[in-house]
Amino acid sequence: MSKVDDKVQQDIKDLVQDISKNPDHWQAYVDLISLLTVAGELVLAEDLALKSLSLFKDNDHAQQELLYATGNVYYVAADYGRAATFFDKITDTKLKYDAIVMQAQSFYAQNKFKQALVFALTAVQQNHEDVKAQVLLGNIWLSLGDLVKAKSAFNAAIKLDDQDYAANFGRGLIEQVSAPKNNPWLMKAKQVNSKQYQTDAARLDDLIAVMLGGQDNGSESE
């Protein structure tokens, strides 16, 4: 077990003790759910999350934090539809933006690109300086076959952080269609993360084929 894993396990034990001594300390439940999720203990995390939502049903602040933590459990478990139902219930101003981004990611992971687009556009409108949101928007536009808007989103992300791998790879993917030689964005992506680039480059042709297929028919999996 790595040192990081050891620390997570110790933190989990500390939070369990905290809850045992202070059963009304709702923040400890939120933190424990998050740590269990990080540790891959998704069944335990789900069980605790659902019980906590019931336990603190009369505490609005706790409910909002627990809804977000529960949504993350299901997102990590790749149960994106269920994750979305929890993120959709969040109204807290502080958490709402993160929930919107997670909604976009959940729909994107299900290949429901039009639904994902609605949330991604909302996220970018609320915070156009969020690099990850801009990259997600670019990937969604790619999946919908709109290369012009995808290029705009990736360019926006690169302007915010020219060292972002995903932004450079996405922009390079578009460039590869019309100008495959001396592609500066793919070269930059390789420089930023050569290991990830090797993985992605091995399926570059497939990615381009999918992208062009979306451009031709705008199809979307339901």
CATH of the domain at 46: 1.25.40
Q: Tell me the whole-structure pTM to 2 decimals.
A: 0.85
- For 140, other C-beta atoms within 10 Å of its C-beta total 26
pLDDT of residue 215: 60
Could you tell me if residue 54 is inside a domain?
yes
Residues 139 and 83 in one domain: no
CA 215 to chain centre: 24
Residues 12 and 68 in one domain: yes
pLDDT of residue 1: 41
Could you tell me if residue 107 is inside a domain?
no
Alpha carbon separation from 34 to 49, 69, 92, 200, 214 (Å, rounded):
9, 6, 18, 30, 36
pLDDT of residue 23: 93
10-residue mean pLDDT series, the chain (222 residues): 68 93 95 94 97 97 97 96 95 94 95 96 96 97 93 98 97 86 91 94 82 56 42
Could you tell me if residue 100 is inside a domain?
no
Tokens 């003790």, residue located: 17
Q: In terms of residue numbers, what domain contains 73?
A: 1-91
Q: What is the pLDDT of residues 19-53, one digit of tens each?
A: 999 999 999 999 999 999 999 999 999 999 999 99
Q: How many domains does the chain have?
A: 2
Residues 119 and 85 in one domain: no
Residues 37 and 129 in one domain: no
Q: How far apart are CA 156 and CA 129, in angstroms?
A: 8
